[in-house]
Every structure is written in structure tokens, then in C-alpha cells.
Amino acid sequence: MITFEDLIHTPPGTVPLDWDAAEALLGFPVHAGLKDFYSRVLCGEQRCIKGTYHLDNSCFLPPASDAYADWISLISGDVDYELYPLCSAVNFESAIQAAFGKWTGGYDMGRRALIGSFYTDVGDDFLLLFNQDTGTIEWNDPGYGHFEVYEENPYGIFAENLETFYLRLSGCDGIQK
């Protein structure tokens, strides 16, 4: 079974992937941070990496919109999460394409790839999205607001980059309680 510890302790590039094929399918170069995430481990039939995280509002940067400044305070405590590395290197470029598009319902949500979810007691799950343009890991609650317009849903930044994301989920960033 692949664990979160396996993910963070396996060097990027361990899984050899032909990024040229993925970039040709997507139509843009894939961010180095996203390549890092996908080239560490394969989950196979496991499909995802599961864990528990102690969530409180100090774990998040202020949301991009003041309208959602207090949103995270609605949830706190231990929440389950799932991360979605690749299951297989075979036809991986289709899985990368799906990470950018499947969660959007066909709407333009910018270049964001779904890499995980938080499961809370407040309605739907919170999506964990890798922002291709900035390298940040964002949270988004698509069960509230107007799903078809990204900025009209509660959203914000969970981590400034992938390294901080790994530290945050492992509790080694000094924030997690």
C-alpha cells in the first residue's frame, strides 16, 4: 500500500514519464511542481493515498476574496483527505488531461489540476487543486456558490508550493496542531 510517507520520501522522477506527450495533449508545458507530484509513485489499484489532517484556519493563507475570509473557520479538527497520484504510467497523459478537466464539468476554471480532496462535515468535499500558472495548491468548495465560475466559490491558497504542501500535510511546517 502506498502511503503519504512513501509519496514525500520518494524522489521526483522515480516514475519515468514522457512529459512531451502530456504537454502535446494539454497544449501547454506542465509546471515543474506538478511533474514532481506525478513522478514520485504509482498507486495502481489503490487509486489514491488516504490520510487524516488536523485542519484549522491558521493552516490557510487568507482567501483571495474577502467574501470567503471566514469560510475555513466553519470547519476545524481532524478531516480525512485523499491525494490522487497516477495509478499507472501507461497512457498517463490521459490521466493528466483528466486531472485538468474532469472536475470542471466543462467550465473554464483556469489551468488547475485536481490532486486531492478534503472531506469535511460541512457539505461537500473541498478540492485540492494545483494551479498550473502559479504553482500554488488551492482549496475550493464547489458545493457552495456558483460552480461554473471559479471565483464565485469559496476558494483560497492552502500552500504556496508543493514542498510547503507536503510539509503542511505531514505536520512539519509548524502550523499543524
pLDDT for residue 73: 64
CA distance 98 to 106: 11
- In this predicted structure, which of 14-18, 47-51, 142-146, 158-162 has the lowest mean pLDDT? 142-146
- Report whether pLDDT(151) > 50: yes
**Model pLDDT for residues 14-44, shown as the tens digit of each residue:** 999 999 999 999 999 999 999 999 999 999 9
- 22 and 95 Cβ atoms separated by less than 8 Å: no
State the pLDDT confidence band at 177, using cuts at 50, 70 and 90. very low
User: Could you please report the per-residue DSSP string of 101-143?
Assistant: HGGGTTS---SEEEEEEEE-SSSSPEEEEEETTT--EEEE-TT
Please report the pLDDT score of residue 58 as a whole number.
Answer: 62
More confident residue, 166 or 139: 166
Helix axes 19-26, 92-101, angle to 10 degrees: 40
> Between 55 and 126, whose confidence is greater?
126
Class of domain 4-170: alpha beta
User: Is pLDDT of 147 > 80?
Assistant: no
Percent of the chain with pLDDT over 90: 54
Mean pLDDT across 123-135: 88
- Domain ranges in the chain are 4-170
List, for residues 93-124, the tens digit of each pLDDT value: 999 999 998 877 777 778 999 999 988 766 66
